[in-house]
A and B are shown apart, each in its own frame.
Chain A
């Protein structure tokens, strides 16, 4: 999964990569304790970050049980929730982050088809 899926236009992919290469990513992942779903989400996000944003991301995993006030401030209803705070615009993802392509598109790491 390191490379773009065959269906993606290589040129566009390169362009997107170049653009996003400059930006620093600030990501917050809200999970609920150590449920299977939470663990899965943490693993998925970490993998994506390592594969696409190596060296230029700041990922913080927050347990809503321990930080309910923080969760309230971010209007966390569903968990797991991944929030891309930077670069703009703010994006939210919910789920166990198993849909790789959707996350990559959402993080502007691959162009929207």
Chain B
């Protein structure tokens, strides 16, 4: 007895074991799933997804974890249940045929039953026990157990029997989900939560601005940590997915790999190598500045590399984008056909922000893209408040970075003056921020691109003009003249002006050269004349010296002659003059 008790005591000290539900995201919130061998209560209003949640629990158990399950429905018939969940890809009928699950409908009709004295619900116990044992079920769903309250009038019996049922299920060692309708101001209409003390989960809708968001909250989870927030979830084509958005942190691998923006000149502006892989890029600009064209270029470059790109279009339809981009020489259809470019068009107002987040999350998981484009996020802003948008985008960016997915966001801004204010703080989340603007000058608007920031790389500080032509986007070489950057016709004018200035200067120079040459020639001529004169003088001087020599010789030979020669010399001198 005593060793037995000891071991039982030790058992109870073991940490609570959890059974994965297989519901995407839910197991992360609850850090493992539902408490094994215990009862969990799922409560919510009509249409909140209780039945589906429970069905997934059983289906995933049977399909993914090899645990047979029992699904007992008190309200719907088995056929109705099968029909309801087959749209989500769960073939209960097939699973039942393979004896992986058992479905049973227990109708409770009060009108037929008369109560004559004391009774208990042993029939239910026997039935459940029989069903559980028939396939060795590990997971049990009772949907909605509460309908017992409509079938039996003696609430006292019912309550004690429910208590006994839950105890009995625990002894059986099955993990159970009990669903219940939400009451007015209470978790359940009949106070079932009183008996279920292990785990209580509520499902509901939040309606904000006519947009409904499904939400899930773990109200109570005895003996376990759990996320306490209200988590948005969605019922998509593949069942429920809950996004544990706030559990994301800032711990993700970063890549130093660089990828092209699709425009080589833009790559040049980004340190010559383009973007970091897995970074987030914001392309903002006023209407008509070419944001979509920029991202389409990027999409094309991603697909051309053989990577997958997911294009989430919130404003235009796929066909419209394809058509518009073909007008600037981008053939997106080619990539769509190859499955490298995948469009997903959805109206931002179709559902709430959180729902968008869940939906995007879901799409990313399925499409496994290397790049995601959001065109434009400004429309999402219209769905929620700016704080909501920021929080949603933070989580979205975190998630995408974690997956090492390069992300492009476009954002329409109303006016260039309000650039900073209208970014709802989104820009601070972005690694690279490219601003496109239409600069008005001289009666025309010219498109300019400017990289406001780009984390982790050198980037150009210049405003560059670009043109959207039939052959795509062309970034023009930067023009710097007279201390400013010019665009459009101002640039053309300046260029023409510069050219004429150049011509003038050239002519002026030529003239100067010519003048100098002429002067040189004049001088040379003068020099020549002077030299000729000099040569003449020299000759005369030499002749004179000769004569002087001659005369001296004559004087030495005959002194008389020298006297006679004197007048001859005097005579000769004036004659020379």
**Which residues of A pack against B, CB within 8 Å?**
30, 32, 37, 41, 64-65, 68-69, 71-72, 75-81, 90-99, 102-103, 106
Contacts and interface: CB of A to CB of B under 8 A. Distances in A.
B117 A81 contact: no
B116 A37 contact: no
A78 B152 contact: yes
Nearest to A100: B116
A96 B118 contact: yes
A95 B126 contact: no
Contacts of B148: 77
Contact of B116 (A64, A72, A103): A103
B130 interface: yes
A94 to B, nearest CB: 5
Nearest to A106: B114
18 contacts: A37-B118, A65-B126, A68-B129, A72-B127, A75-B107, A77-B106, A77-B108, A77-B123, A78-B113, A80-B119, A91-B112, A94-B113, A94-B114, A94-B115, A94-B119, A95-B115, A98-B118, A106-B114
Contacts of B119: 37, 78-81, 94-96
A41 B127 CA distance: 20
Contacts of B121: 77-79
B114 A79 contact: no
Given A77-B121, A79-B120, A93 B113 contact: yes
Contacts of B106: 75, 77
A59 to B, nearest CB: 16
A32 B114 contact: no
Most buried by A among B107, B115, B119: B119
Contacts of A93: 113-116
Task: Give 9 closest A-B pairs by Cβ, nearest first.
Answer: A95-B117, A98-B117, A76-B123, A99-B116, A68-B130, A32-B122, A96-B117, A95-B116, A78-B119
Contacts of B114: 91-94, 102-103, 106
Nearest to B130: A68
Contacts, number: 92
Nearest to B151: A77
Interface of B: 104, 106-108, 112-124, 126-127, 129-130, 148, 151-152
A58 B124 CA distance: 26
Given A68-B127, A77-B106, A94 B122 contact: no
Nearest to B107: A75
B541 to A, nearest CB: 155
A78 to B, nearest CB: 4
Contacts of A102: 114, 116
A32 B126 contact: yes
Given A69-B130, A90-B112, A91-B112, A30 B118 contact: no
B427 to A, nearest CB: 63
Contacts of A65: 126
Contact of A37 (B108, B120, B151): B120
B155 to A, nearest CB: 13
A76 B127 contact: yes
Contacts of A90: 112
Contacts of A37: 118-120
Contacts of A77: 106, 108, 121, 123-124, 127, 148, 151
A99 B112 contact: no
A95 B120 CA distance: 8
A71 B127 contact: yes
A66 to B, nearest CB: 10
Contacts of A72: 104, 127, 130
Contacts of A95: 115-119
A102 B116 CA distance: 7
